[in-house]
Amino acid sequence: MAAPIVLASCSLAAPLLSTSSWEVDGAASTAFAAAPLSIAWRFLTTFTSHPLFEQRMIQTCSECQPYWTTELGKHFLFMRGINFIDLTGDYERGPAYMSLMSEGALVPHKSLAGKLPKKVAHHDQLTGSIFKNISDAGPRANLKEFTSFRTRYYRSSTGRESQAWLLKTVSKLAKQRSDLNISVSEWPHAWGQNSIILHIDGSDSKASQEEGITIVGAHQDSTNLLPFLAAPGADDDGSGTVTILEALRALLANKHWKPVTDVEFHWYSAEEGGLLGSQEVVRGYADRNAVVKGMLQQDMTAFVKQGTEERVGLPTDFIDEDLRQFVQLLIKEYLDIPAVDTKLGYAASDHASWNKAGYRSVFAIEAPFDDCNLRRIHTTSDTFDHPEFSFDHLVKFVKLTSAFIVELSGWEK
């Protein structure tokens, strides 16, 4: 999830966004001035070529004018709890592309996507078989392994290592069903931690072309408010990562399940960097005129705040309202906890990348925003060994994910 924590102590960060505020004391200035010009030039070029000083174009709200900052400037925004989307990739494609993105008109979304069901059609298959395959054993084991990496920060070596582990885990699951046409691929990114996409062909290729792909997603990266510190990211978004992993495992374990239309599972890189990974994926899908029936993001699915009841938070902002009502129907039909409306603001998670382009997307989260895991995420304390982290709660999101896939993509008779 993006940066919801506001730290008053970070108010000093704002002036640092301006390069004019970087100064050195008198002694350092004298020494620098006395140094040979070649040494001074080498120092300046090394300093400014560091990845932290890479120029990035960002936007902090849908009505705000995009502006240039640096990678370091993004970190200061993150520390101050300001959500943002990194639009550099859009900018590099030119003003016309930027305009279409800003209007949510890159794809003519509802005219392309298939109609959404008004009632459930696969209650018996889901409750009688798929849900019985779901347990917390897989999520527990996978999350223990996933959080063992010091950080999954998208620019770090351990971020690449955690992605390699996840790719291996997803690929192993895919091999369980030789009767299905399943592909697992990496979406390459310049920063090294690649997004992962698992695609399952539906039984009806014509319906898939006309109605579109059903997509569920989570983000694999983690971060600390200070990115050089450890970031176990158990809830944000290790929980979402293992939620859709378990849904995939449970579906594939049922030998009778075969979707009618195409299904995909996405694990995005660099969500914490301004939705970078999912934006690159969305641009690629738009470039090939891909039709998407609906996209569900699972980001933070395991926290139950002490003194509150279990609920599913359903954001009402920056989502597709028709798809949100469909998810609400699924929660009412298949879960024993209620859905509660909430707002998360701009750039809350990767569903926003799809929404920005004009695709149907929606987000389900562990609770209404104020009752989410706001104090632990983006710190070394985002672990699963505390009483408010609930694998029972997480399993309910596994059921929701499974229901979303089956009810939207169908079940071949």
- What is the per-residue DSSP string for 90-157? HHTT-HHHHHHHHTT-SS-HHHHSPPPPSS-S-HHHIIIIIHHH--SHHHHHHHHHHTTSSB--TTSH
Q: Is the pLDDT of residue 19 over 70?
A: no
Lowest-confidence pick of 26-30, 199-203, 301-305: 26-30
Lowest-confidence pick of 17-21, 158-162, 290-294, 391-395: 17-21
Domains of the chain: 8-102 (no CATH), 109-409 (3.40.630.10)
Q: Is the pLDDT of residue 268 over 50?
A: yes
123 catalytic per annotation: no
Identify the active-site residue in 236, 264, 320, 407: 236
219 catalytic per annotation: yes
Residue 296 carries which side chain, given as an amino acid letter? L
Please state the pTM of the whole predicted model.
0.89
299 catalytic per annotation: yes
**For a pLDDT cut of 70, what percent of the chain falls above it?**
87
Identify the active-site residue in 75, 109, 219, 351: 219
Identify the active-site residue in 221, 235, 262, 271: 271
Identify the active-site residue in 75, 189, 266, 378: 378
User: What's residue 103's pLDDT?
Assistant: 72
378 catalytic per annotation: yes
With cut-offs at 50, 70 and 90, classify the pLDDT of residue 21: very low
User: What's residue 20's pLDDT?
Assistant: 33
Q: What is the distance between the alpha carbons of residues 129 and 124, in angstroms, rounded to a whole number?
A: 8
With cut-offs at 50, 70 and 90, classify the pLDDT of residue 85: very high
For 58, the 3-state DSSP assignment is strand
Identify the active-site residue in 86, 90, 221, 272: 272
320 catalytic per annotation: no
pLDDT digits (tens, 9 = 90+) for 356-407: 999 999 999 999 999 999 999 999 999 999 999 999 999 999 999 999 999 9
161 catalytic per annotation: no
